[in-house]
Structure 1
Amino acid sequence: MCYKATSSVSPFLRIRDAGLEMDMLEDLETLQFEYGIQEEDCSWLYLLGRSHGLMTKACAHASFFCKLLRNLRKSLQEKQTSRCCLTELHEDTPDGDELKVGIIGGGHLGKQLAHTLLQLVPIPAESLRISTRRPEALDEFKKLGIQCFYHNSSLVQWANVIFLCCLPSQLPHICVEIQSSLAKACIVYSFVAAIPIPRLKLLLNHTNILRPQYQCVEDLANIWAANKGITAALQDPVILQATSPYNPAGGIILNTKWLEGVFYAAINVCTAKDMPHSHVLQLLNALFLSRHFEACEKDGASCQKFQAQDFVSKAYARNLSQQRPFPWFDLTAVQLKETPFSQYLSNSTTFQDHLTHLYCCSFGISLTKEQEPEVSTGSPSQ
């Protein structure tokens, strides 16, 4: 019965919001998931909210990462264009291509992620492609102009970022398919929680890998509004703040090593362009600390700014000339070991507060002083 009711919703509505049909059925008790469940089984219903919370957080963090990468690429192109104009080397002016995102896996997670990236980043349809064993099941995305096919290596050759949304049992075969096609600068973002980072690095023979890790610490599932679609939920200020990297609300905590990976991934993007590290620091300051600059216009000297020693050892930073790029960072090592940036993230509460504001602002929600969440510096074990 529930399947029929859901299927009667027009494809257009499902494209706009994968969970809109849930909202339409919200007041129809007999069509709810919980209806008919035996009383002794009701204690397990919190798992439904937790599952939706994990999905919501995963899509939110992936969207935030893509927003940052897109803005970084835009800044890089503007800086390189300016430099080309100054030297009159117009033939070297970089193109204006959007960030190219590929998704491997067209199941529930892959579809939800695609909807979120399309609507909340937003990524143009022509800059998003999906590879899945059943591309015929993705007509709703094809109608939007998204290429859906089954050719993983082709997708990897095209994309700047690849999201792995497959089953753990499928991953070894996928890695064999794509490892020879992976460019060094291509970022692999894995949602396959059952495969640890060292194993994934070995399977892919690749170091530019990001893998968020989540830990459920308490049963606060009601906050996740399981009757809402992901994109609708992320427009709710309460839910969005709960997805913020330092916010423990909802009982799901993100390992902050992911944040380190995000920063070092951004640096790798610049290193691939052979950008001097001094210019990279300028870009990172503009990208992550711009709102902080606005708050201290009267006393610019006291503003917090990134320094080279925040990302590399002090000895390495001392020998780093202004025009020399940062070294290439192994993102798998960054997420498994202590780095110079580990101390920065854990010790700077000012930056943690600023990042929370930046995160919410990137989704179009501005926090007031009263709305500021309690900051959690806890980091689940690897």
Structure 2
Amino acid sequence: MEVDMLEDLESLKFEYGIPEEERYWLYLQGRYRGLMIKGCAHAAFFCKMFSALSELLQELPRTIHPRTVSFDAAATEDEKLTVGIIGCGHLGKQLANVLLKIVPIPAENLQISTRRPDSLVELRKLGVRCVYDNSAVASWAKVLFLCCLPAQLPNICLEIQSKLEKSCTVYSFVSAIPLPRLKSLLNHTNIMRPQYQFVEDFDNIWGENEEVPAALQDSVMIRSTCPYNNLGGVILNVKWLEGLCYALINVCSARSVFHSQVLKLLNKLLLSVHLESCKTDATSCPRFQLTDFMNKSYVRNLYHKRPFPWFDLTTVQLKETPFSQHISATRSLQDHITLLYCESFGLTISEEELPYVSTVIQPLENDE
């Protein structure tokens, strides 16, 4: 039997050598790891929903989908989710591995732009295209993750702003740059930026050395990353969920799918995992309606064979929307999304476990 002689050796631990009076600050290490795990998990769920929607769009008949996805091999190829990452430091590498192993995204559908592409040996071996060409990756990707340093972002935005397709969803991990500023830098409205806040006293449940893809195989970790959960002291602004729903609608609008069919797709995609009570009382099971996403006066004037209007995701995440009121007032909808979230990571939870997994969190104050 192999014995690791260095295991549990105090002098090799991170905190060794830190004066006792300064060890209070070690909680920041747990907070950083919790933030990274939650951030990667939410990005993975985001891509899972985009990938599942792409598959549903390919199944639409010609009469509903003007681009005849079901009959054109080239168009079918065009429907596949392609993901780009700009910046590949520690977060970027963890994110790339989560996307490959947890979503999972095929290696040929992931591209990375970084100043040191030659350093990404393991990712290149897997078949991921690693380059230093921000513009090329931005113009290719349907979802583009920004994992660069705040100081690098203005120049990167200048490089890529003219290369982005209107339908490309930019997903920023650069927390120091607020959404209005990012919208201005990119001249783009299809931007997601998860916002996290922290609680003072928290249990560090995030572990230490385990890679994020491995951590997301753990049921405790999956539960802790649920959008309606504040375990581990890292809290996600639930406006992110609104941004996800409107981003999915924009994907359909870019393909000219009629709004009536979009609602069916959203119901099939986001409300596919049901509570036990739905079986006994079908009326308790939520179903999306037009007025959940748009105000009633707009709905009255919307012709039935039209797509949804294009939504500015930055506005969705910063302002009250019809969906804000709907989701905050509908606990069963929150519970359905929690069940879907857990199941997308391979974890099945019972209705009795929901109060533990799905702590209702009020929207956090947005940064403008």
Task: Tell me the residue number matched to 2:365.
Answer: 381
Residue 50 in 1 paired to residue 31 in 2? yes
C-alpha contact (below 8 Å) 1:201/1:207 kept by paired residues: yes
Distance 2:342 2:273 in 1: 12
Instruction: Provide closer, same or farther for how the CA distance between residues 90 and 354 of structure 1 changes in structure 2, counting only shifts above 3 A.
Output: closer
Instruction: Provide closer, same or farther for how the CA distance between residues 193 and 89 of structure 1 changes in structure 2, counting only shifts above 3 A.
Output: closer
Distance 1:70 1:84 in 2: 17
- Superposed CA deviations along residues 231-289 of structure 1, whole A, max 9, x for unmatched, are 12111111211111110111111111111110000000000000000000000000011
- Superposed CA deviations along residues 26-81 of structure 1, whole A, max 9, x for unmatched, are 64433221223221121111110000000001000000000000000110111146
Residue 330 in 1 paired to residue 312 in 2? yes
C-alpha contact (below 8 Å) 1:264/1:329 kept by paired residues: yes
CA apart distance, 1:300: 3.9
**Following superposition of structure 1 onto structure 2, how do residues 107-256 of structure 1 map, counting pairs within 5 Å?**
107-256=89-238
Q: 2:55 aligns with which of 71, 74, 90?
A: 74
Distance 1:124 1:345 in 2: 33
Q: Which amino acid aligns with 2:16?
A: Y
Distance 2:85 2:5 in 1: 29
Instruction: Provide closer, same or farther for how the CA distance between residues 242 and 347 of structure 1 changes in structure 2, counting only shifts above 3 A.
Output: same
C-alpha contact (below 8 Å) 1:46/1:219 kept by paired residues: no
Instruction: Provide closer, same or farther for how the CA distance between residues 293 and 217 of structure 1 changes in structure 2, counting only shifts above 3 A.
Output: closer
Distance 1:36 1:140 in 2: 33
Q: Which amino acid aligns with 1:378?
A: Q
Distance 2:35 2:5 in 1: 23
Q: Which runs of 5+ in 2 are unaligned?
A: none
Distance 1:276 1:294 in 2: 32
Q: 1:296 aligns with which of 278, 286, 295?
A: 278
Instruction: Provide closer, same or farther for how the CA distance between residues 82 and 28 of structure 1 changes in structure 2, counting only shifts above 3 A.
Output: farther
Identical amino acids, percent of aligned pairs? 59
Instruction: Provide closer, same or farther for how the CA distance between residues 26 and 215 of structure 1 changes in structure 2, counting only shifts above 3 A.
Output: farther
Count of residues in correspondence between the two structures: 359
More divergent stretch after superposition (218-227 vs 293-302) = 293-302
More divergent stretch after superposition (287-296 vs 307-316) = 287-296
Distance 2:33 2:163 in 1: 34
Instruction: Provide closer, same or farther for how the CA distance between residues 271 and 227 of structure 1 changes in structure 2, counting only shifts above 3 A.
Output: same
CA apart distance, 1:89: 9.1
Give the CA RMSD over aligned residues: 2.3
C-alpha contact (below 8 Å) 1:105/1:165 kept by paired residues: yes
